[in-house]
Amino acid sequence: MSYAECTRFEQKIAFHMAPSLLGIKCANLISLNQTEFNIPEYLEYFNKKFSKKGLIFKILCTHHNKTLVLLYNKILLEHQLQKKKNFEILEKYGYHESSTLEERLHLLSRRIESSEQFPHEIGVFLGYPADDILGFIKNKGENYMFCGYWKVYHNPEHARKIFLNYDKCRNFLCNKLNQGYNIYQALKIS
C-alpha cells in the first residue's frame, strides 16, 4: 500500500467514522470503492492496530464495485444491542436473544445482501435512538422533525447535541490528519 493511498484511506475513515474511532459511538458504516483501495489488506492491517482499542472493522457485504464496511466497538455495540427497546426491534427481524454478536452481525450482513433497501434494524447497530428507528419505520422515512446523522422523530434537542458531538469528533480527527499525524498517532495507538 502506497503512502498516498494509505493517507486517502485514513482521511476517508476519519471523516466517516470519527465518533466510533474516538469511542463515543458504538459503530459507523462506510461504503468503499473496491477500485480505489485494497480493502481486505487495509482492514487486516487496521484490525491488528485498532484491536488494542477494542475496535473492529468488518465487511458486511460487497455489491458491484462497493464494499460496505462496519467499524464497531465490541463492548459498546453489545451494550447497544442488549437495550430492551433495541432488542424488541431486532426480534421483529429474526434476531435471537441467545445469538452472539458475530451471529447478529452475520444475520445483518445476510439481510443487507438480500434486500433492495437497508434493513431498518441497521439503526440499532449504528446506535440510533430506538424511538427514531421506530418513527422511521412507522412513517416510512417521511414526516421527520429534521435530518442529521439519522432522521429524527423524537427528542430533537438531544439529537442535536449528539450531532454536534459527532461533528466535533470529525473535526478533531480530520484536523489531526491535516496537521500531518497519521490515524494511529491521532488516536494514540502504537
pLDDT, one tens digit per residue, over 48-87 is: 999 888 999 999 999 888 999 999 999 999 999 999 999 9
DSSP-derived secondary structure letter, 64: T
pLDDT, one tens digit per residue, over 85-144 is: 999 999 999 999 899 999 999 999 999 999 888 899 999 999 999 999 999 999 999 999
**Packed helices 3-21 and 39-50: angle between N→C axes, nearest 10 degrees:** 50
C-alpha cell at 168: 466535533
Closest CA to 35 of 71, 70, 8: 8
pLDDT band, very low/low/confident/very high, at 1 (cuts 50, 70, 90): low
Is 73 in contact with 81 (CB distance < 8 Å)? no
Number of C-alpha atoms within 13 angstroms, CB side, residue 27?
Answer: 28
| pTM, 2 dp | 0.94
**Packed helices 156-178 and 3-21: angle between N→C axes, nearest 10 degrees:** 150
C-alpha cell at 36: 480505489
Beta strands 66-73 and 151-152: pairing type?
A: unpaired
Cα gap 66→78, rounded to integer Å: 27
